[in-house]
Structure 1
Amino acid sequence: MRLPGRSRHPEASPSVPHAGAARVVVYSREGCHLCEVAEAQVAEICAELGTSWTRVDIDDDPDLHQRFTEQVPVTFVDGAQHDFWRVDPERLRKALSKRP
């Protein structure tokens, strides 16, 4: 049984927009302090490692809003949910050191 919000491949679901070739996707919303902190951490770590990332605003999509509203920010790495609410920088670096 798969838990809601734990899709292994979010881009395979019609309710989650394809994030392109980015290895890291941060699902967030405007005005969310935790989201701003997570995005800054992800941006810094991805720049340090030469890894792509993107941000998806959950409020632009009703399905994403319903799916992630209580968890933002939600971080996916290589299509799998990695974290929510906070980013653990060392854990993210470790995940990104593995090949996709």
Structure 2
Amino acid sequence: MTRASCHACATARTELERILADYDLPLTVHDVDQLAEAGDLEPRAEYGDRVPVILLDGVEHGYWEVEEGRLRAALDVRR
């Protein structure tokens, strides 16, 4: 979960793209403000004050920054 003009979101995206490439996994990005404009208010209400929020299999894994070691451990379990 992200939003435009969010420096931390841009940093997290770069880190996630690098990490996920090692697992041959795609990155899916959802902008909470765009979703709200389209009528889906729940993501902005839930995650808007904590972006970037990292979801893994639809479950919140972390927010504000990527914890690489923790994320890699979770991805290793999924293999």
TM-score with structure 2 setting the length: 0.85
Q: Which runs of 5+ in 1 are unaligned?
A: 1-26
- Which 4+ runs in 1 deviate beyond 3 A? none
Q: Distance in 1 between matches of 2:2 and 2:32?
A: 6
Over aligned residue pairs, what C-alpha RMSD do you find? 1.3
How many residues in Structure 1 have an aligned counterpart in Structure 2?
74
Match of 1:77 in 2: 56
Which amino acid letter does the alignment assign opposite residue 79 of structure 1? Answer: G
Give 1:76 shift.
0.5
Q: Which runs of 5+ in 2 are unaligned?
A: none
Q: Which structure: greater helix fraction?
A: 2
Q: Distance in 1 between matches of 2:47 and 2:78?
A: 27
Identical-pair percentage: 32
TM-score with structure 1 setting the length: 0.69
